Structure 1
Amino acid sequence: MIIKTIVQSSRLPFLILTPVCVLLGASIVAYKGQSVDSFLLALIIIGALSAHVSVNTFNEYLDFKSGLDLETERTDFSGGSGALPNNPSALNSVYLTSVVSLLVALIIGLYFVSLHGLQILPIGLLGVVLIMTYTSWINKHPWLCLIAPGLGFGVLMVLGTQFVLVGEYYALSLWISIIPFLLINNLLLLNQYPDIKADMNAGRRHFPIAYGVQASNQVYGLFVLAAITLIIAYVWLDYLPVLSLIALIPMPLALLSLYGAHKHTQAIGHFQQYLGMNVAAAILTPLLLATSFLF
C-alpha cells in the first residue's frame, strides 16, 4: 500500500514531460553535428526524472500537511493525486522519497560538475531552489509562480542537457528553450483554475488568484501567440530547419484550451478535455521540435 501511494504521489503520467525536454536538448546537439554520448544522456534522464519526482512528492507532502489536499476537487490534471488522503500513514514515506530523489539528482549533478567544471553549477543550484521553494514560497508570488514551471523544465532541462553533452553552451539552445518555457508555463497556469478557491484558502497567491481568470487567459493567449511566432521566426531566420514547422501542429490544441478557459473559467475542471489538450500541446510541441532536429 505504501509503494502504491509513493507511485501515485510521484504522478507518473506527468513525468513524460521530463524526457521530452531532455530529448530536445540532446537533439540540438545532434543538429549541430556533435555526437551524443549515450551514457551521459542516460545519466541526464535519471537525474532529471529524480528531480521531477522530488518536486512532485514534496508538493504532495506539503499539500497534505497544509490540509489543501482535503479541499481540492481533483481532476486528472489538477488537485493533487489524492494518494495521501487515501493513505495518510504513508506521509513520511512520501517525504523520504522526495529527499532521496533530490539526493540522487544532486549526486548526478556533482558528477557533471566534476566532468565540466562550475559552468553547469548555476543551472543545478537554480533547479534545487525551484524544487525546495515551489510549494512553500513561489506559490505565494504570482509572477514567479507563473514562470517557474517553464524555467525549470523548458529552460534549465534543455540548456543543462545540451551543456552536459558537449561541455559548452549554444546560444541556439537558449532561443529554442523559450518555446517550451512558454507552453509549460501555460500547462501549470490552466491547471490552477479548478483549485483557485482551495489554493486561496491555503494561503497561496498564484497568478489566477492575484489577477483573476480573465487576466490569466490573456497571458495564456499571449504565450501561445509568442510560441507560434517564435517557431515561424526561427525557421525564417534559419535557426530552425523548415521541418520544424511541424511543431505548429499542436497549436490548435492550445487555442482550443484557451477557448475552454474563456467559456468555463474556474469550472474548466468539469471539462477535462480542455486541460488534456493543454497538456498535449505542451508535450507534443517540444517533441516535434526535437524530431525536426533529428530528421
Structure 2
Amino acid sequence: MSFKGIVTVIRIPFLILALILSILGAAVAWYEFRLFGSPFNLGYAVLATFGLLVAHAAVNIFNDYFDARSGLDYKTRRTPFSGGSGAAPEGLLTVSEVFWLGIICLLILIPIALFFVLKSGWMLLPLLVLAAILIIFYTPFILKMGYPEWSAGLGLGILPVMGAYFVHTGAYSASSFIASMPSFFLVHNLLLLNEFPDAQADVTVGRRTLPIIAGKKKAAYFFSFVTLLVYVWVVWAVIYDHMPVFTLLSLLTLPLGFQVIKGSFGYDDRGTFLKAMGQNVLLVLVTQALIAAGYILSGIFLK
C-alpha cells in the first residue's frame, strides 16, 4: 500500500468541505454559548473535526472501492471534480487495498464515536448509525435507487453540522437544523453537477442519478432552483430570527451562484462545464464558510 496511493484515494482537497462543516456546527454551538450560556468545549470541536475528516475520507475510499469493483472506474472519463480518484485503475492501490483502507477509517471512527456517545449523550447514536449507513450503502445501493443526490446533502450537509453541534450541547435543536439546511442544498448540488460528465458511464452500472433519470436539461433547471434556494433560506431564516444577521454575508457569493447556474446549462461543452464545476466547488465552500463566519461574528459582537 503506497503512500501516494493512500493520498490519492483519500482525495485530500475534497476534505476541505468536512473541515468547513465541522467549523459551522461548532460556530453555531459557540454562538449559542455566547447568547444563552450553552455548553461549548474547544477540545470536543477539534476531535469532532478529526472524526469528520476521517469519515469523509471513508466516503471517498468506499466510493472508489465500489466503482473499481464494478468496473465503472475503467469506463469513466475523469475530471478534477468527478470520476473518482483513479487510484485503482492507475495501479497505485489494488482494489483490496482500497477496501481495507476504508475499513481502517471506520475502525478509527469507532472510539471517537463511543467517546462522544458517552460524553455528550446516547442520542448522538442514531445520527452516527445513519451516517454509517450512508457511508457503506451510498455507492452500491443508494446511487441505484433514483434521485440519490439527497443522500449527499444529508450525509455531508445536515448530519455533520448537527453532529458537530450536538457534541457540545448534548441535544439537537431547531436552530442547528436550520443552520444546516444551506449545507444540505449546497452539497446536494455539488454531487448533482459532478454527475453530469459521468452520466454515460454511470448508466452502464445501473446508477439512476438525476441527469440520467430526468435528462441533463431538467437536471440543470433543478440545480438552478436549489442554488437559489440557499439564499432564499438564509434570508428567510434571518428575517424570522432563526439565524443571526451576520450570516447574510453568505449573499456575497450570489453573483458566483448566477455564474454557476449559467454554466450548468453548458453541459455539452466540456471546457465550459469544467469551469462551472470548479466555480461550484468554490461556491459550496465559500458560502458555508461565510455562514460560519456569520455565526462567529454574531457571537463576538453580542452586547
What is the TM-score normalised by the length of structure 2? Answer: 0.92
The answer to whether 1:171 aligns with 2:174 is: yes
Q: For residue 168 of structure 2, what is the amino acid of its counterpart? A: L
What is the alpha-carbon distance in structure 2 between the residues aligned to residue 252 and residue 141 of structure 1? 34
Question: CA offsets per residue over residues 167-198 of structure 1, 9 Å max, x none?
Answer: 11221010111111001100000000000000
Structure 2 residue corresponding to 1:157, chosen from 152, 156, 160: 160
* Partner residue, 1:286: 288
What is the alpha-carbon distance in structure 2 between the residues aligned to residue 89 and residue 133 of structure 1? 22
* Partner residue, 1:275: 277
| Matched positions, count | 293
* Partner residue, 2:55: 51
The answer to whether 1:130 aligns with 2:134 is: yes
* Partner residue, 1:26: 26
* Partner residue, 1:13: 13
Shift of 1:66: 1.1
CA contact (8 A) 1:51 1:101 kept: yes
**Secondary structure of 2:114 counterpart:** helix
What is the alpha-carbon distance in structure 2 between the residues aligned to residue 197 and residue 270 of structure 1? 18
What is the alpha-carbon distance in structure 1 between the residues aligned to residue 50 and residue 244 of structure 2? 30
Q: For residue 220 of structure 2, what is the amino acid of its counterpart? A: N
What is the alpha-carbon distance in structure 1 between the residues aligned to residue 156 and residue 66 of structure 2? 21
Aligned residues with identical type, % of pairs:
37
* Partner residue, 2:254: 251
The answer to whether 1:115 aligns with 2:119 is: yes
The answer to which structure has the higher helix fraction is 1
* Partner residue, 2:231: 228
Shift of 1:255: 2.1
Shift of 1:88: 5.9
Shift of 1:59: 0.8
Question: CA offsets per residue over residues 138-172 of structure 1, 9 Å max, x none?
Answer: 000222x1111110121000101101111112210
**Secondary structure of 2:88 counterpart:** helix
Structure 2 residue corresponding to 1:219, chosen from 219, 222, 237: 222
* Partner residue, 1:198: 201
Structure 2 residue corresponding to 1:95, chosen from 93, 96, 99: 99
What is the alpha-carbon distance in structure 1 between the residues aligned to residue 243 and residue 55 of structure 2? 29
What is the alpha-carbon distance in structure 2 between the residues aligned to residue 135 and residue 72 of structure 1? 15
Shift of 1:136: 0.2
What is the alpha-carbon distance in structure 1 between the residues aligned to residue 160 and residue 14 of structure 2? 15
Q: For residue 281 of structure 2, what is the amino acid of its counterpart? A: V
Question: Structure 1: 5+ residue runs without aligned partners?
Answer: none
What is the alpha-carbon distance in structure 2 between the residues aligned to residue 63 and residue 192 of structure 1? 14
Cα RMSD, aligned residues only: 1.5
CA contact (8 A) 2:40 2:168 kept: yes
Question: CA offsets per residue over residues 45-70 of structure 1, 9 Å max, x none?
Answer: 11111111111011111111111111
